[in-house]
A and B are shown apart, each in its own frame.
Chain A
């Protein structure tokens, strides 16, 4: 298996622009998680899905952030409009909810820089 795939790997954009991050979970996994990592705050869970349904979005910082999972093999995290404080590494992870204790497997991340 190719593991969790994220694109792009790096994104540099200007303040006010829309940013879309993409994730393809491991085939057969039914839970998907979006995280943000910064030096100051560490890893924070933004939102997670079970069977394509958003379960908990309490970590989404504000209305500028939105996430979708239209099918079992694809998810997007959108920021609009982007701000410099959104600069961080964004990780996607997936797991098989009822197998292996829900062990999470992470993608390589997208490094976002908002100028």
Chain B
């Protein structure tokens, strides 16, 4: 059974710093991995999707990497800003034609002005 873990559950970082959020999964037979952002009281916004054949994806100040063999993904945020404060969730989709994605519980990020 696939399990997705995100550590730490919460993180506070001064504005301007670069930071890394971690995601690990137990079954490396994945189809893709997706990073989401959730603001308080809001829905989820897709940030990046990495296919299993890819090593990383970039969008602006965000860079997501994937190491399937070790069951890990990281989301790198460069030059953090107070507007980056949100909960970040990762989710994996397994191989086999199944459309289900399994979510981690997220990392709640607070950027200190």
Contact = CB atoms under 8 A, between A and B. Distances in A.
Interface residues of B, number: 23
Nearest to A49: B99
Interface stretch (B14-22, B45-53, B60-68, B75-83): B45-53
A97 interface: yes
Chain B interface helix/strand/loop/mixed: strand
Interface in A91-115: 91, 93, 95, 97, 100-109, 111
Interface of A: 4, 31, 33, 42-43, 45, 48, 50, 55-56, 91, 93, 95, 97, 100-109, 111
Contacts, number: 51
A108 B42 CA distance: 6
A55 B106 CA distance: 27
B113 interface: no
B49 A103 contact: yes
Interface of B: 31-32, 34, 36, 41-46, 49, 51, 89, 91, 93, 98-101, 103-106
A103 B105 CA distance: 19
Contacts of A4: 43
B99 A55 contact: yes
A106 B45 contact: yes
Contacts of B51: 101
A78 B13 CA distance: 42
B43 A91 contact: yes
